[in-house]
């Protein structure tokens, strides 16, 4: 009797560790159970150990252990076990046994279209909530390298001076300008990339094109991170809708659909819809900026609570940007006081995550611990977006905790009367910060408060799971 053959695909949002841990766990379990297995990994460097059509066809079953899109349409008609990447690590033997026992569900996928286009996936075989989460995480995982690379380059440019990238200023440095401009280009693509790969997860290549344009419109219009998420989901499902509407066209026009009709109609529709989405968000942003400017001379506790909560609420989105842009505008008037609280509040969320993964290590998986270490760098260089993957997993709990931590940091910065003359850079700009030591103390206190609250929430969740 020949061995049972299984193929698998693993992937986590960051693509750093969890992806490969699941692959290793499945391989060890297969060896123990006498099953032949090949595992395809979807890490940060891309697809490795890719599955061929022949291997998929010959397989007795498929295991998908992923929290991101792994092109599940390849497995239509095969018995499939579709679970989170965490279960791939913890329950590898159980997953394989499900296939051995013939209890896996046959994957139906979405209705196939032509060969000239990529098939459209409507979320795979999981629940609606998990499908939405996977689409979102696909966008976040592709966005992060742009955030990290671009944000750190911008921060480094401030080491040469606050105005060193301004050709009209006496401190102008050509290399600093190069760093800031290059980093700005990468960082500026964050929202379009996020939207593009949310849409790509829903509708493959046609969705990616429409999602990117929707993200650009959101970014340019001031809708920010939240606008990018909206654009990504809208773009993906616009393509799903177009596929259904155009499925009656003659087969000879399949190529025309993929290369012409989907991009043309999709971009037109996303442009029209985003026009109505962006304008209200922009008006809200301007209103929030005016509101904040009126509070700049208020009680430091009230001001810090408002600025901290706004900065951590959507971490790079329109609410965060309203606080940030208000601080930037006030800098031009010589007000360095307001930006101190804004910067402290923006630096805090990644540090909350980082400290929590250190002090409450037991309650985070290996992938989260690795991402936590990266957040030390991101937080120190004023890249708030590093906390997004953690917040996205449990926003109802995590976002309020981050808001508390950021508020404490902002309140203390205002109480210490710190002055921050640069709009970005994190701890790299400490040489130009007035009362730099007190500013760092304020940020660390806020970060530690948030970290212990977050760690305790993880501990409580862990206790419930073990009960």
- The catalytic residue among 7, 8, 9, 12 is 12
Q: What is the DSSP letter of 432?
A: G
Q: Quote the CA–CA distance of 298 and 300 in Å, as a whole number.
A: 6
| Element spanning 6, H or E | strand 5-11
Asked if 218 contacts 227 with a C-beta cutoff of 8 angstroms, the reply is yes
∠ CA 72-273-256 to the nearest 5 degrees?
Answer: 55
- Tokens 């193929």 belong to 7
Q: Considering only CA atoms, give the Rg of the chain.
A: 24
The total number of residues shown for the chain amounts to 467
| Cα–Cα distance list, 397 to 127, 219, 390, 392, 454 (Å) | 21, 27, 10, 10, 8
Strand partners, 42: 11, 47
Q: What is the largest CA-CA distance in the chain?
A: 80
> How are strands ordered across the β-sheet holding 36-43?
46-48, 36-43, 5-11, 61-66, 79-83, 105-106
Is 346 noted as a catalytic residue in this protein?
no
Dist CA 28 CA 21 (whole Å): 11
d(CA 265, CA 235): 11
224-246 vs 262-294: helix crossing angle, rounded to 10? 160
Rounded Cα–Cα distance for residues 367 and 423 (Å) = 31
Phi, psi of 160 (to 5 degrees): -85, -5
The residues annotated with a catalytic role in the active site are 12
């Amino acid at each position: 009797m020949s061995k049972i053959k299984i193929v698998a695909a693993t992937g986590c949002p960051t693509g750093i560790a969890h992806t490969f841990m699941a692959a290793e766990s499945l391989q060890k379990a297969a060896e123990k159970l006498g099953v032949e297995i090949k595992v395809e990994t979807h890490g940060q460097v891309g697809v490795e150990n890719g599955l061929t059509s022949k291997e998929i066809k010959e397989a007795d079953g498929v295991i998908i252990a992923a929290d991101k899109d792994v092109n599940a349409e390849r497995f239509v008609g095969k018995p499939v076990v579709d679970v989170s990447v965490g279960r791939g690590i913890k329950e590898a033997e159980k997953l394989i046994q499900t296939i051995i026992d013939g209890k896996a569900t046959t994957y139906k996928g979405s209705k196939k279209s032509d060969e000239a286009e990529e098939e459209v996936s409507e979320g795979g075989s999981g629940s609606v909530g998990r499908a939405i989460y996977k689409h979102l995480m696909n966008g976040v995982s592709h966005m992060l390298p742009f955030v990290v690379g671009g944000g750190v380059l911008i921060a480094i440019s401030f080491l040469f001076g606050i105005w060193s990238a301004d050709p009209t200023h006496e401190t102008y440095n050509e290399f600093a300008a190069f760093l800031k401009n290059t980093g700005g280009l990468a960082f500026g693509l964050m929202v379009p990339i996020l939207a593009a790969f949310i849409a790509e997860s829903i509708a493959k290549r046609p969705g990616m094109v429409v999602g990117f344009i929707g993200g650009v419109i959101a970014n340019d219009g001031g809708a920010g991170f939240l606008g990018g998420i909206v654009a990504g989901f809208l773009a993906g499902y616009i393509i799903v809708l177009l596929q259904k509407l155009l499925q009656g066209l003659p087969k000879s026009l399949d190529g025309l659909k993929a290369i012409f009709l989907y991009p043309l109609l999709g971009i037109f529709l996303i442009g029209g819809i985003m026009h109505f989405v962006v304008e209200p968000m922009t008006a809200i942003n301007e209103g929030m900026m005016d509101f904040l400017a009126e509070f700049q001379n208020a009680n430091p506790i009230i001001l810090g609570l408002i600025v901290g909560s706004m900065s951590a609420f959507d971490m790079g989105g329109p609410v965060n940007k309203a606080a940030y842009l208000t601080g930037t505008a006030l800098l031009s008037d010589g007000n360095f006081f307001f930006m101190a609280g804004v910067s402290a509040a923006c630096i805090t969320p990644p540090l909350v995550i980082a400290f929590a993964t250190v002090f409450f290590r037991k309650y985070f998986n290996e992938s989260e611990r690795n991402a936590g270490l990266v957040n030390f760098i991101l937080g120190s260089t004023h890249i708030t977006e590093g906390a997004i993957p953690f917040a996205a997993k449990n926003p109802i709990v995590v976002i309020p905790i981050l808001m508390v931590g950021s508020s404490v940091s902002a309140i203390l910065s205002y109480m210490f009367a710190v002055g921050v003359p640069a709009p970005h850079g994190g701890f790299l700009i400490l040489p130009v910060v007035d009362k730099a030591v007190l500013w760092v103390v304020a940020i660390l206190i806020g970060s530690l408060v948030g970290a212990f609250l977050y760690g305790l929430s993880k501990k409580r969740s862990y206790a419930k799971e073990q009960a």
